[in-house]
Amino acid sequence: MPQTSYPESYYAASANPVPSRPALQGDIETDICIIGAGYTGLSTALFLLESGFKVTVLEAARVGFGASGRNGGQIVNSYSRDIDVIERTVGSQQAKLLGDMAFEGGRIIRERIAKYHIDCALKDGGVFAALSEKQMGHLRSQKALWERYGHKQLQLLGKDEMRGIVATEQYVGGMLDMSGGHIHPLNLALGEAAAVESLGGVIYEQSPALSIQRGQQPVVSTPQGRVKAKFLVVAGNAYLGNLLPELAAKSMPCGTQVITTEPLGDELAASLLPQDYCVEDCNYLLDYYRLSEDKRLIFGGGVVYGARDPANIEAIIRPKMLKVFPQLANVKIDYAWTGNFLLTLSRLPQVGRLGDNIYYSQGCSGHGVTYTHLAGKVLAEALRGQAERFDAFATLPHYPFPGGNLLRVPFTAMGAWYYSLRDKLGI
């Protein structure tokens, strides 16, 4: 069987030692089988192991092979949909549960890092950057809304304060969240995998789940083995394919691309981002960037609906970087890669249960670094019999993309084009 390895990203090149784990051979039994060793799978595994369950994780490629090992590394709290829209969709009681949880993911990550001594270059502080007065107004109303839910740490920034955080003339202001921040995402996943194993969990790599035989005790088949479990947790997200067709119809894999400069040196790096916060702008198709531990700029942006890999990533992302930081015109790009996240029509996570014993969480449509850690906690709670917070997610309504499998990519791209035109015009 051909081995699937990491993409040639900056993260793979700067990863902590990566143990290679065996593929599943033969038949085994476990309490809970988790499909996918990204943050969703690993966070769920850790919470379950801490509660005494026997856990087996099947990973198609390597730990953190998917979005979790190649993302922008930004710890961005809350959801990809504003809480007032959630209130209008699901009513105040369910919105209250979801709103209360919106900043928990960042706390879980910090607890994990501290408890399991994970070396992943954690830095506190994330900024939302407004490109227009309209976006600044939106940040003001977001801050007021989150304060209603008791999240009072957000701080609005004027143009001059922003200039002290990012060396660009692009922004009219912003909002700082010190409970946000950034990490080396692959090292976080690798550290969590080591924590899973330290508690007796077993992770098989190069072991794709090829089929699921549903029933009282579901059985997952891989190329060389089978796992019989009391419960399954499906955490394959944008890389899952059609393993569960019920889920595939209401979500769409999308690509986003990241470039990493050569090391900039302390002086130039500090001149760009003096506080070392991470930044994402407020556009519908947003740019996000931050410094690495060795003072490179890691800059991401763009969305490819349907997740086809673009031929020349640098040609797409470098102009975006230079728009923010024209001072980097002569800087070399050392790494460029793409990765897939999973979009839902509502941009809210797709969470639930198929039958009594197959649980899933996927499709958070961005802001996934924090959400996936929260998802692990909420899934583990549900498997322990406390489903209130799980149900708050599981009862969110989801709809198929317009156009079906054939037309959903052009239809969604058209919608995104409309929203990004509005961003460009500042309306």
Q: Which stretch binds ligand FAD (CB under 6 A): 16-24, 53-61, 135-143, 260-268?
A: 53-61
Sign, CA dihedral 317-323-324-326, equals positive
Interface with ligand FAD includes 331 (CB under 6 A)? Answer: no
Interface with ligand FAD includes 261 (CB under 6 A)? Answer: no
Distances (CA, A) of 324 to 164, 287, 312: 14, 9, 20
Q: From the CB of 171, what's the least distance to ligand FAD, in Å?
A: 18
Interface with ligand FAD includes 181 (CB under 6 A)? Answer: no
Interface with ligand FAD includes 227 (CB under 6 A)? Answer: no
Q: From the CB of 109, what's the least distance to ligand FAD, in Å?
A: 10
d(CA 16, CA 35): 24
Q: What tokens were used for 133? A: 């007065």
The answer to whether the beta carbons of residues 226 and 270 sit under 8 Å apart is: no
Interface with ligand FAD includes 364 (CB under 6 A)? Answer: yes
For ligand FAD, give the closer residue by CB, 125 or 236: 236
For ligand FAD, give the closer residue by CB, 4 or 217: 4
d(CA 52, CA 333): 46
- Give the one residue of 209, 227, 297, 345 binding ligand FAD; rule: CB under 6 A: 209
- Give the one residue of 44, 74, 80, 142 binding ligand FAD; rule: CB under 6 A: 74
Binding mask 75-104 for ligand FAD (x = CB under 6 A): -x----------------------------
The answer to whether the beta carbons of residues 292 and 123 sit under 8 Å apart is: no
- Give the one residue of 33, 38, 166, 233 binding ligand FAD; rule: CB under 6 A: 38
Distances (CA, A) of 197 to 109, 185, 187, 201, 414: 18, 19, 15, 5, 45
Q: From the CB of 33, what's the least distance to ligand FAD, in Å?
A: 10
Q: What tokens were used for 207? A: 């072991």
Q: Residue 264: name the closest of 194, 333, 210 by CA.
A: 333
> DSSP state, 138?
H
- Give the one residue of 33, 48, 49, 70 binding ligand FAD; rule: CB under 6 A: 70
Q: How long is the chain?
A: 427
Chain residues in the site for ligand FAD (CB under 6 A): 35-41, 58-61, 65-68, 70-74, 76, 208-209, 235-240, 243, 256, 258, 288, 300, 339-341, 362, 364, 366-370, 372
